[in-house]
Amino acid sequence: MTSTVTRRGPAGQPLPRTGPPDEPRGGRSGLAWLLDLPANAVRGLRRSAATTPGKLTLIGVALVVLSLLAGAVGSAAIGERKGTIDGLIDHREPLAAAAQELYRSLSDADATAASAFLSTGAEPPELRQRYELDIATAGAALAKAASDSGGVPEAAAQVDMLSRQLPVYTGLVETARANNRQGFPVGAAYLREASELMRAKILPAANELYEIDADRLAEEQDDAAGVPWLTALLALGLLGALIAAQVYLKRKTNRVFNVGLGVATIAVGVAVLWTAAAVTVQSVLVSNAAEDGTGQADVLVRARITALQARADETLTLVARGGGEAYDNEFNELFGQLAGEDGRSGLLAQARERAEDLPSAEHVDSAVQNAVAWGAAHGQVREFDNSGEYERAVSLAIDTTDEQSAAAAFTRLDEDLAAAIGSGRQIFLDDTTNASRALTLLAPGFALLALIAALGTTLGIRERLREYR
């Protein structure tokens, strides 16, 4: 049996307890008490919400939290949006332009190499310089495209293909030139092999790279032109909540106006109107830049590439000396895509329709006229070649000093398309730059107005709570 006698000290006083204290009857352990905290907090909130001061406190806390949340989300979204637009100008569009320039330079190099091969006597220095410039430009454009291909496996694969095959192509062209200078017929075979490599592997890879960059540009333009729904919902929700809170206070306190909540409401209203106006203007400008700028330029780029490929076929038909039927058929197919049978349809007709009322319209109209002239000159080239007048055919095909030649007409066409592409890029740059300016100071301004709303809400609710003390 356990003893219950209390031990006493020398003076008859009870000795202090040395063992663990007895747990209070019906008490809870520390862990159980912690687990009950959420339930106790909810019960406390319910008891508080049953009173008017408690309701006002809850309303104030909710409005402050919503203000800060809307400010954080809105300013971050607007800042990201502006960063996307600035990235279009500084990074994404220049990369798409570099990919386009890569394709153009390679196509022009192929056509120029064939033209130089047709020249009698010494190779014309201007054609050699043009070829070397094309190869150098292609190398620079490839390096720029490679700088952004690391995170995109499809783009990296095309860059790798181009990096490996371009030196092979230039080697074949140099071999063809060396043999041609010595009068060896095998030079033409090397040139055809180089051109086949260009068409079978190099140009498809360059085209794929351009398509990837153009798609990425279009995706980012769509993102920049979209509606920031989360920011809009939070801002409008906050505005509605502030109005509802003031209506509630009027009914409870018979006070018509609350200065703090009024200031908060005005601040949020300004933020909503400012954001709506700026984002609307910005979205319209980005959409215009995509439609009249990059969209127009894309059609013109495809037209220019098609023309360059057709030009290479025109010269390679003559290089083949009677065995170039396949090249001639491909020329007819490509020219049909470029300008149609009448020289006034195809890609040029699309570009002409899109260029209406745009600065590039004059260049596109001129391109159409020069395409017609080129088609007519090519018909004469084929007549001379088929009738055995090979030298006249070659002269009409490559003599740039003759205004009626195929070479002169093609050169004018290419210059017109280049000018129209430049005009489209300038439209993109102007509209996108203005779109970025429309968002200037909006992100910090939105955050500041949200903070004003939170502060106004705090002061307005505190003013009413003081009346209950």
Q: How confident is the model at residue 80 (pLDDT cuts 50, 70, 90)?
A: very high
SS3 content of the chain, % helix, strand, coil (to 5): 80, 0, 20
| Bridge partners (DSSP) listed for residue 14 | 8
**Does residue 113 lie within any of the structural domains?**
yes
Higher pLDDT, residue 459 or 11: 459
7 lies in some domain: no
Q: At residue 319, does pLDDT exceed 50?
A: yes
Query: Looking at the domain assignment, is residue 205 inside a domain?
Result: yes
H-state helical runs in 147-202: 153-181, 186-197
* The Cα angle at residue 343 between residues 290 and 346, in degrees rounded to 5: 35
The answer to whether residue 106 is domain-embedded is yes
What digits encode the pLDDT tens for the residues 419-447?
Answer: 999 999 999 999 999 999 999 999 999 99
Residue 303 has pLDDT above 50, yes or no: yes
- Banded model confidence at residue 139, pLDDT cuts 50, 70, 90: very high
Q: What is the pLDDT of residues 188-220, one digit of tens each?
A: 888 889 988 998 899 999 989 988 988 888 898
Asked if residue 48 is part of any domain, the answer here is no
In a domain? residue 5: no
pLDDT score for 25: 45
Q: What is the pLDDT of residues 85-113, one digit of tens each?
A: 999 998 888 888 898 899 989 988 988 88
Question: Is 345 inside any structural domain?
Answer: yes
Q: Other CB atoms closer than 10 Å to residue 413's CB: what's the count?
A: 26
* 326-376 confidence digits (pLDDT tens): 888 999 999 999 988 776 788 999 998 888 888 889 999 999 999 999 999
The gap between the terminal CA atoms of the chain, to the nearest Å, is 61
How many domains does the chain fold into? 1
pLDDT, one tens digit per residue, over 264-291 is 999 999 999 999 999 999 999 999 998 8
Domain presence at residue 39: no
Contact 202, 312 (CB under 8 A): no
DSSP reduced 3-state for 107: helix
Q: Which residues contact 424 (CB under 8 A, 6 or more apart)?
A: 292, 293, 294, 296, 297, 300, 360
User: In the predicted model, is pLDDT for residue 22 greater than 90?
Assistant: no
Q: For the chain, give the mean pLDDT.
A: 85
Query: What is the pLDDT, as a whole number, of residue 28?
Result: 53
Q: Is the model more confident about 69 or about 48?
A: 69
* pTM given for the model: 0.78
Whole domain around residue 360: which residue ranges? 58-466
Count of all residues that appear for the chain in the document: 469
Under the banding of pLDDT at 50, 70 and 90, the label for residue 1 is very low
DSSP assignment letter at 20: P
- Based on the number of CB atoms within 10 Å of its own CB, is 341 exposed (0-12), middle (13-18) or buried (19 or more)? exposed
Contact yes or no for 432/298 (Cβ under 8 A): no
Helix (H, G, I), strand (E, B) or coil at 210: helix
Decide: 296 and 266 in contact? Cβ < 8 Å: no
